[in-house]
Amino acid sequence: MSLLAQSMRQVLRHTTQRATLNGAMRALSINQKLQQQNKPATIDVAAIAKEHQQECQTVCERINQQVAKSEQGRLFAVVHLCGKQFKVTPGDIILVEGYWPPTTGDEISLDKVLLAGARDFTLIGRPMLDAGLVMVKATIIEKTLTHTKTHFKKKRRKQYMRINFQRSPNTMIRINSIELTRPLDGMAEAEAEHSIRLF
Amino acid sequence: MSLLRSIAGVIALARPINSATTVQTRRHFKRWVSPTLRELAHRVKKQGVQKPEPRSGFVEWNYRSELFAFGKRLNEDFQLPLLQTAFTQRTYAHQEQERQRKLGIAEADLQMGDNSQLATKGVHIAKAYIEAYLQNALPKVPPVGQQAIASYLLSTETLAHVCTHLGAKELIFSTEYPPSSETLAQTLHAIIGALSDSSGVERAFLFVRDFICTQLNQKDLLEIWTPEQPLQLLGEICTQKKLGEPEPRLLGDCGKNTVLAAYHVGIYANRQLLGKGFGEDLQMATETAAIDALQTLFEMHDDRQPFDFRLQLEAKNVRLD
Amino acid sequence: MSNSHLFLKSGFPRAPLQNGVGRYVCQLQRLTLKFCKNNGSSRGMRDFIENHLVDFAKENPGIVVYVKPRRHRAPVLVGEYLNGDREWLSVRNSTQTEISKWIDLLKTQNGSSSSLRLRKMWHTDVPSIQGPWTPFLLRSPDAHNQTYPTSEASQPLDVPQTATEKLIELFKQQQLEADTVLEQKRAE
């Protein structure tokens, strides 16, 4: 129920028009009865929005306190790399398949962070976290080719046979560190929905 | 004339027969191939397992360039004579001196350094740095635990593993090949000593951090050190920190009186939950819960702050004897 | 697609000696170029040795390069790695650009890769940071105080109405309606 109330509040924060509210309710698959119950009630939207923001603020402050004391522990992140998503934590190894320019020994930072989390909190991007909020550093440790893959085609009774051999490039990456670079700002985080990102 | 014609006929006949026979010979393996190979395999088997041949016995081998490349590969500047001394085992040096004495070489030319001095120096450096590093990275772990982790890092197996993966195996002057793990460990110590002699003790510290401390990456610390009698230790720690008497409480159970029983026990002190654990009986569950509580108190969990391997410890914090 | 790779040795991504956690170490320690001085199949190799080999050795001081001429044999590249692996490559009739590409591959590898099929593209020793799920997680405290078996918990969550029950209900409703009609008539 609290989840429902929270989502209601979220919906209310965006708009005051009842028509869209109805639409949103339908989207949340709340049954008609509940909707009818809510219909005649007058809701103070501004108050609920304010309450929600305050809640957001307190959560962010608690996270900031934990990070300031460096008690957050091991961080993990979901990064988007070359069309795939990886859940990584410091010390992990991930592999990128296909051609990718960086060479061995290069130190890179993975910028597309979809989610970052620790023992007690999770920051979820919509769809991505703000640029520069989470710093994921990595080192390229190997560039190699896969084993030989055989592509063999044959059509029966048609004198047709083709055989091809293929090896595609693979890149091995070591994740060195994941860090929160700046304290969270509850207000900005709530409003930064329309951040301009080109990728 | 008829004789001539018949000869020509024979030659004409002989030609296709000849070509046919040549093709025929290529169609099958010679009959001696299989028995010969079988005999060779039999002889190899009879000899038993052979020791691997040292790479230094090959034609393409240049010890000087190998030594030079060893330092460059690790991004370190070694003095090459020092490095060569670090690779020379004492037994090998003695053997070599004996051999030269028999050949009648003057005593003055028989000087051959060995790595024992460098190794003792390296042991000091590695031990001091690892202790300082662990002190920095795991401040809440008691000295017993830190000692256990340090001795894991400085154990012969770990050091031998590091040494082989640095490519030192082929460079060691030793009486036996492949060198034993003790030899490899001693050589790694000697390399650290040689590095501190050639480019300063700070570089040696970084070497220890980058190649020995990194063995702790994502390692489960409980595997290296598990406190014996965790409940007792927890009691002591709780009285030290004034948390109150630890008290195990049953949080949940299922499948009682079956072979698949599971108990969930929490340890409370002063009405605060310290740790939880599972077990197939109550005693086991209590012990796991106590270990969990200790892990939380010592910050040894998997989800603790990961080791920082880019950390620059100041030299004054490292206590060299 | 044939399935011959299924019989290949398979493994998981690993890096030797936690490479890249501390500093990056190039894993190729030795490179041997074997070639013939006058055979045509070694021509690209000879060109490579003339034009690029010295630059390569200068750029990579950590790799020991051996050049081994031998008569009437095909040219070969042999790389030796820190983990003890040895990669042998025939470069018969290859041009010098092809050879420099193969050498680049040998340089950036961690060991011989051709003999291993990878089963995963990710490796971690810490799979869960927020903790794994257990049946005891977030369980209601009420569940602990109950003694089983309980009659309440033994009931199915949803018992559908039977046809008989429905008929009885309909019958009662009809009776009720009839009664009200009767009462109305009486009132009139």
Percent composition of chain C: helix, strand, coil (DSSP 3-state, to 5) = 40, 15, 45
Q: Which residues from C are below 8 Å from B309, CB to CB?
A: 21-22
Does C26 lie at the interface with B, CB-CB under 8 angstroms? Answer: yes
Q: Which amino acid is present at A124?
A: I
What is the structure's pLDDT at B20?
A: 46
Shortest distance, CA C151 to any CA of chain A (angstroms): 27
DSSP state of B88: B
DSSP state of B53: P
> Is B50 within the bounds of a domain?
no
Task: Examine the domain organization and report whether B158 and B193 are in the same domain.
Answer: yes
Reported as a single tens digit per residue, the pLDDT across A130-150 is 888 999 999 999 999 999 999
Reported as a single tens digit per residue, the pLDDT across B208-247 is 999 999 999 999 999 999 988 999 999 999 999 888 899 9
Q: What range does the domain containing B253 cover? A: 230-298
Q: Which chain A residue is nearest to residue C25, measuring alpha carbons? A: A105
Residue B317 scores a pLDDT above 90? no
Residue A2 scores a pLDDT above 90? no
What is the structure's pLDDT at A14?
A: 47
CA angle, corner B120, sides to B118 and B122, nearest 5? 65
Quote the number of domains for chain A.
1
Task: Examine the domain organization and report whether B198 and B70 are in the same domain.
Answer: yes
Task: Examine the domain organization and report whether B241 and B192 are in the same domain.
Answer: no
Q: Give how far the C-alpha of residue B181 lies from the chain's centroid of Cα atoms, to the nearest Å.
A: 9
Shortest distance, CA C112 to any CA of chain A (angstroms): 9
Q: What is the band of B12 on the pLDDT scale with cuts at 50, 70, 90?
A: low
Q: What is the CATH number of the domain that holds B216?
A: 1.10.1520.10
Please give, one letter per residue, the 3-state secondary structure of C124-186.
CCCCCCCCCCCCCCCCCCHHHHCCCCCHHHHCCCCCCCCHHHHHHHHHHHHHHHHHHHHHHHH
Does C129 lie at the interface with B, CB-CB under 8 angstroms? Answer: yes
Q: What is the band of A12 on the pLDDT scale with cuts at 50, 70, 90?
A: very low
As a whole number of angstroms, the distance between CA A60 and CA A186 comes to 6
Q: What is the CATH number of the domain that holds B286?
A: 3.30.160.20
Task: Examine the domain organization and report whether B182 and B264 are in the same domain.
Answer: no
* Beta partners for residue C31, in sequence order: C65, C79
Reported as a single tens digit per residue, the pLDDT across B151-188 is 999 999 999 999 999 999 999 999 998 999 999 999 99
Q: How many CB pairs under 8 A join A and B?
A: 24
Reported as a single tens digit per residue, the pLDDT across B59-110 is 999 999 999 999 999 999 999 999 999 999 999 999 998 998 888 887 767 7
Question: Where do the domains of chain C lie?
Answer: 27-112
Percent composition of chain B: helix, strand, coil (DSSP 3-state, to 5) = 60, 10, 30
Does A177 lie at the interface with B, CB-CB under 8 angstroms? Answer: yes
Q: What is the band of A6 on the pLDDT scale with cuts at 50, 70, 90?
A: low
Q: Are strands B272-279 and A113-117 parallel, antiparallel or unpaired?
A: unpaired
Q: What range does the domain containing A173 cover? A: 73-191
Q: Which residues from B are below 8 Å from C135, CB to CB?
A: 254
> Is B33 within the bounds of a domain?
no
As a whole number of angstroms, the distance between CA A120 and CA B50 comes to 57
Largest CA distance in chain B: 130
As a whole number of angstroms, the distance between CA B101 and CA B115 comes to 21
Reported as a single tens digit per residue, the pLDDT across B247-277 is 999 988 888 889 999 999 999 999 999 999 9
Contact C61 B72 (CB under 8 A): yes
Task: Examine the domain organization and report whether B292 and B154 are in the same domain.
Answer: no
Shortest distance, CA C5 to any CA of chain B (angstroms): 29
In residues, how long is chain C? 188
B158 to each of A65, B149, B163, B225, how far by Cα in Å? 39, 12, 9, 15
Low-confidence ranges of chain C (pLDDT < 50): none
> Is B19 within the bounds of a domain?
no
Task: Examine the domain organization and report whether B217 and B245 are in the same domain.
Answer: no
In residues, how long is chain A? 199
> Is A28 within the bounds of a domain?
no
Residue A34 scores a pLDDT above 90? no
Contact B62 C63 (CB under 8 A): no
Helices (H) and strands (E) in chain A, counts: 5, 10
As a whole number of angstroms, the distance between CA B83 and CA B73 comes to 14
The single residue listed with the structure tokens 């190794």 is B119
Q: Which of B199, B192, B207, B181 is nearest to B121 (CA)?
A: B192
> Is A175 within the bounds of a domain?
yes
Give CB contacts under 8 A, 24+ apart, made by B273-278: B274/B234, B274/B243, B274/B246, B276/B251, B278/C134
Quote the number of domains for chain B.
2
Lowest model confidence (mean pLDDT) among A66-80, B104-118, C161-175? B104-118
What is the structure's pLDDT at C15?
A: 93
Contact A177 B308 (CB under 8 A): yes
Contact B306 A118 (CB under 8 A): no
Residue A41 scores a pLDDT above 80? no
Q: What is the pTM of this model?
A: 0.81
What is the structure's pLDDT at A191?
A: 53
Q: What is the band of B321 on the pLDDT scale with cuts at 50, 70, 90?
A: low
* Mean pLDDT estimate for chain B: 88
What is the structure's pLDDT at A176?
A: 94
Task: Examine the domain organization and report whether B88 and B213 are in the same domain.
Answer: yes
Name the 3-class secondary structure at B229: coil
Residue B16 scores a pLDDT above 90? no
What is the structure's pLDDT at A16?
A: 41
Does B127 lie at the interface with C, CB-CB under 8 angstroms? Answer: no
CATH 1.10.357.10 assigned to domain C27-112? The reply is no
Task: Examine the domain organization and report whether B200 and B278 are in the same domain.
Answer: no
> Mean of the pLDDT values across residues A170-192?
82
